[in-house]
């Protein structure tokens, strides 16, 4: 039986691939269960300093499996999907959503729970809740406006329009776009650059950003001063390596 979310480890970084390529990686309860298990395992894995979340095959994910909805989903609690994505969001290490092909509705909610999105130039994004007479419960109403602004979030949610990678970059949904032919190499290079940095700093920076998101500037500055975690256990080693090279 195939892993619904496949994990592949590299030097300091990990790829999690949603693995239902024959179903365009449509999201089911079991896919979320597999994703949650990986997230829980990664939380305390200090060997991993960067996580990439992507889809196997032709796309990131076409979204929530409508068949799964129609037959009724047996979930542990009403907010279980949202809780799972919050666990992903709060991983103490950078998480990149590497999006190619489809990224619609529930899939976009998953991507938005990552720290940022990098898109292949064939990526297409959209929120189609309104098309199906559904309402978001995995975080769309909270994360999308924080990423692109309230007015743009309303436009996307009200129209159910699909947008391409260039438009996603323009509105700030994706950080940048890459030709599909170069996508795998770019994602690997990006993950390697992040993994080369201090895991201590990554954890501290994510906690700081999460704690002060939306705070008034003065409150955030005060938090940064009072809650600063100083330097990490790898500080001396990193400085010594730098000064040794310079000398």
Return the domain boundaries, the chain: 5-195, 199-246
Q: What tens digit of pLDDT does each residue of 27-46 get?
A: 999 999 999 999 999 999 99
Nearest to 110 by CA among 133, 92, 136: 136
**Is residue 95 within 8 Å of residue 210, measured between CB atoms?**
no
pLDDT class for 76, splitting at 50, 70, 90?
confident
Interatomic CA distance for residues 102 and 62, integer angstroms: 5
Bridge partners (DSSP) listed for residue 117: 97
> Is 70's pLDDT higher than 70?
no
Q: To the nearest whole number, what is the mean pLDDT of the chain?
A: 94
Q: Which CATH superfamily is domain 5-195 in?
A: 2-enoyl-CoA Hydratase; Chain A, domain 1 (3.90.226.10)
> Is 4's pLDDT higher than 60?
yes
Question: Collapsing DSSP states into helix, strand and coil, what is residue 16?
Answer: strand
**Is residue 117 within 8 Å of residue 90, measured between CB atoms?**
no
Interatomic CA distance for residues 47 and 13, integer angstroms: 8
The alpha carbon of 221 is separated from its chain's Cα centroid by a whole number of angstroms, namely: 26
């Amino acid at each position: 039986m195939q892993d619904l979310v496949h994990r592949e480890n590299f030097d300091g970084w990990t790829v999690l691939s949603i693995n239902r390529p024959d179903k365009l990686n449509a999201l089911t309860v079991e896919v979320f269960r597999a994703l949650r298990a990986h997230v829980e395992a990664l939380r305390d894995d200090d060997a991993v300093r960067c996580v990439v979340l992507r889809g196997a095959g032709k796309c990131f994910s076409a979204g929530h499996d409508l068949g799964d909805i129609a037959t009724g989903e047996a979930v542990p609690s009403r907010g279980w999907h949202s809780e799972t994505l919050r666990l992903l969001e709060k991983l103490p290490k950078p998480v990149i959503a590497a999006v190619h092909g489809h990224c619609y509705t529930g899939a976009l909610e998953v991507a938005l729970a990552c720290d940022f999105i990098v898109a292949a130039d064939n990526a297409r994004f959209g929120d189609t809740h309104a098309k199906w007479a559904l309402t978001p419960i995995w975080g769309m109403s909270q994360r999308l406006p924080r990423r692109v602004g309230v007015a743009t979030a309303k436009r996307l949610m009200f129209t159910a329009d699909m947008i391409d990678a260039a438009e996603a970059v323009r509105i700030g949904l994706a950080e940048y776009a890459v030709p599909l032919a170069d996508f795998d190499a770019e994602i690997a290079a990006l993950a390697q650059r992040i993994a080369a940095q201090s895991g201590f700093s990554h954890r501290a920076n994510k906690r700081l950003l999460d704690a002060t998101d939306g705070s008034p500037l003065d409150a955030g500055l005060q938090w940064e001063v009072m809650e600063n975690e100083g330097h990490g256990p790898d500080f001396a080693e990193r400085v010594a390596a730098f000064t040794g090279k310079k000398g």
